[in-house]
Amino acid sequence: MLIKKVGIVANIAKEKSPEYTAALRDWMLKRGLEVYLEEGIAAKIGCFPGVEKGKLWTLVDLVVVFGGDGTILRTARLVRDRNVPIVGINLGVFGYLTEVNLDEMYSAMELILAGDFQIEKRMMLDVEIQGGGEPFREGTVLNDVVINRGNLSRIVEFETTVDGRYMTTFKADGLIIATPTGSTAYSLAAGGPIVFPELNSILINPICPHTLTNRPVILPGSAVIGVTLCTLEQGATVTLDGQVSFTVKYGDSVTIRKSRYVTTLVSSPHRGYLEILRTKLGWGGSQTGAARKGQDARGTEHP
């Protein structure tokens, strides 16, 4: 893939984002690339004109995102119908999705611009909310859909179906429906499993269930999940990727299915997924002698 035009998006709330954006922009311009800045960060560094978020993706071959996973999630929803590759540079804390660290930014970009990189197609979920007097509401997520009790002090009940067939009625603080990408987000904190991002699956994970035998369930990616709120009190909330929220009431239904859209992420040229997991989750230990004689995480044979 030949990259000639690059867009830069940054979380302007991060103190160093203007500095790093300006530096990378200058570095790319010296290499003959066309660089477009999203209007928020353009204004921050005094580089006019910037480009509206809704138009930036139509102009570029690659998007560079400075920030944390939240910035990636917002960007993923905006570029969902353009299939533009995204490379994340981590200015956050955890950064599962922003795989490139600041100290390797230029070396990683050299490889990426030379075409020496791999991409991952991450599945997304479409969400539809119907019921009551509210208008039809919908969205697309890369990480998860969370339905929780909102301002209620009591547990809530969620009647749940899979492909139109009754599964169970969860009595819990909430319910997480996640992609494999989202398995390392809120779902992981709620006791869910880590699901490799290449897998085509959907995870249902109850939050603090009243019945202890209600455990996380991994479904095939073709499954259509229906959730109906069965609690009379108002105040339950549906949150998309932790960023967009809707209120649902008794009898309202939420339908979740695999989206036709995907998020295209540029993998770090310097490390594989297993190394990212070890680093982000603080897994200790080093390779054994037998492992060193085999293959490392990038599949390279050791002498």
Question: For residue 230, what are its two tokens?
Answer: 């069965």
Which residues fall within 8 angstroms of residue 77, CB to CB, at 6 or more apart? Answer: 139, 140, 141, 142, 241
Q: Which helix (H) or strand (E) holds 156?
A: strand 156-162
Q: What phi-psi label fits residue 117: left (phi over 0), alpha (psi between -120 and 50 degrees) or beta?
A: beta
d(CA 164, CA 257): 12
**Amino acid identity for residue 302 in this structure:** H
Listed residue (172, 176, 135, 175) closest to 155, CA to CA: 172
d(CA 269, CA 83): 20
Catalytic residue list: 69
97-102 contact pairs (CB < 8 A, 24+): 97/69, 97/72, 97/73, 97/181, 97/265, 98/65, 98/67, 98/68, 98/69, 98/71, 98/72, 99/265, 99/267, 99/268, 99/271, 99/276, 100/268, 100/270, 102/20
Residue 81: CB atoms within 10 A of its CB come to 10
d(CA 279, CA 29): 33
d(CA 179, CA 198): 10
- What is the longest distance spanned by two Cα atoms in the chain? 67
